[in-house]
Amino acid sequence: MPRLFIPPLLRPYCEGQEEVVVEGATVLEAVLSLDRQHSGVMERLCPEGKLRAGMSVTVDQNVTPRGLAQKVSPESEIHFLPAIGGG
């Protein structure tokens, strides 16, 4: 099952865990799965089911342009990181 890496400041809401095994075929489903395990995380990570401005999702080494709709595999790693822009 996919692993969702918990940003440090969100870990207190996830019993201090650095990563959580989640269910789901998309990033959104993975976050919903996380929220079922640790209630309230969804609202902090993706308020109203949307990726917060200034944040990006990385799945399996690459920032995805599809955001929460990105498909994930059972082996996937999911990271929420600051969105960055190049020059």
What strand order describes the sheet that includes 62-63?
19-21, 3-5, 77-82, 55-59, 62-63
Place of tokens 């399996």: 60
Considering only residues 46 to 85 of the shown chain, the ones binding other proteins according to CB under 8 A are 47, 52-55, 58, 61-65, 77, 79-85
Alpha helix (H) residue ranges in 1-87: 27-37, 41-45
Candidates 84, 68, 63; CA nearest to 26 is: 68
**Minimum distance from CB of 42 to other proteins (Å)?**
11
Piece of the chain touching other proteins by CB under 8 A; list 20-28, 30-38, 41-49? 41-49
**Minimum distance from CB of 78 to other proteins (Å)?**
10
- Per CB under 8 A, residues contacting other proteins are 5, 7-10, 13, 18, 44-45, 47, 52-55, 58, 61-65, 77, 79-87
